[in-house]
Amino acid sequence: MTEQVRDPQEGGTWGPRSAAAEWQIREAVRVQTFGPATERMLELAKVNAGSRVLDVGAGAGDSTLMAAQRVGPTGHVLATDISASMLEIAAESARHAGLANVSTRVADAQRLALASDSFEAAVSRFCLMLIPDYQQAMTEIRRVLKPGATFAAMVFSTPERDPYLSMPHAIAFRVGHLTSPTPDRFGEFRLGAPGALEDAYRKAGFREVAVHTVSTRRRFPSLAEAVQYMQGPLPLRELMVRLSEAERDQVWAEIERALAQFMGPNGYESPCELLIGTGVK
């Protein structure tokens, strides 16, 4: 998933190997929810056979492996992230899938130590909005792309269009009397406001900018499984450690009550809207 604000060496969410391994275990849920949208992102980035592709904030490598399958043995995918442990998972997954066209590099997207004009395409899934200076990162990504190459980035839309992600955070902030950062400073929905993603692309110098809306559904067999998945290596975990034990208990109870509205005969199901931005160098 993601290039995070905190340094993994400082104990950030994605730093420890245990968190990376837990992220890998939950791969099936991510593939079900985000697989088709990821394929759409790769298609919009023109990731084709023989392409040399940069995956920014590759995390455990979900999009990396899908890109590697598309580019084939004559292409190559470089997965970058600030978490070495997440990239280890990505490399292991590539080996297990028999993909020899994947390499990994620990790198900060704001300062890519890569040659200019060296990639035919670049992608980023659920990373861009979490980078402190995403504008600088986009400028760097554009620099390393070849002229005419496309950068496609997937981000979350607005909070009300993904209640599974937004409601628990809102509850935790309220119960803990925490100060929530403004959307323009940090957060999963930082680039979801109308026009925000387009503006970011244009400011970075991209042309032929477009934003595509993709709808998906978050599904779990039961409410208990929906809550259990939420307790995994997500940003919510870091937020919860700032609360007292009593506050955490209250938060989880309120989260369960809030999510119960999305229960139906087939289990838990809630909407999720994604945005895929594209721009050409």
Mean pLDDT over 267-280 rounds to: 98
Average pLDDT of the chain to the nearest whole number: 89
Class of CATH domain 8-158+186-218+271-280: alpha beta
DSSP string, 193-243: STTHHHHHHHHTT-EEEEEEEEEEEEEESSHHHHHHHHTSSSHHHHHHTTS
Confidence of residue 19 (pLDDT cuts 50, 70, 90): low
| Bridge partners, 79 (sequence order) | 55, 104
More confident residue, 245 or 17: 245
Q: What pLDDT, in 10s, does the model give residues 153-163?
A: 999 999 999 99
Confidence of residue 244 (pLDDT cuts 50, 70, 90): very high
Q: Does the structure show a pLDDT above 90 at 4?
A: no
Q: What's the token pair of residue 11? A: 């104990």
Residue 194 falls in which region: left (phi positive, over 0), alpha (psi -120 to 50) or beta: beta
The angle that helices 17-25 and 27-44 make with each other, rounded to 10 degrees, is 80
Confidence of residue 5 (pLDDT cuts 50, 70, 90): very low
14 C-beta neighbours (distance < 10 Å), count: 26
**C-beta separation of 188 from 156 below 8 A:** yes
Q: Does the structure show a pLDDT above 50 at 118?
A: yes
Mean pLDDT over 123-150 rounds to: 96
pTM, two decimals, is 0.88
Q: What pLDDT, in 10s, does the model give residues 32-63?
A: 899 999 999 999 999 999 999 999 999 989 99
Alpha-helical runs (H) found in the chain: 17-25, 27-44, 62-71, 84-96, 134-144, 163-175, 196-203, 223-230, 235-240, 245-259
Q: Could you tell me the residue ranges of all domains in the chain?
A: 8-158+186-218+271-280
Q: What's the token pair of residue 224? A: 């208990």
Q: Does the structure show a pLDDT above 80 at 21?
A: no
Q: What's the token pair of residue 74? A: 């004559």
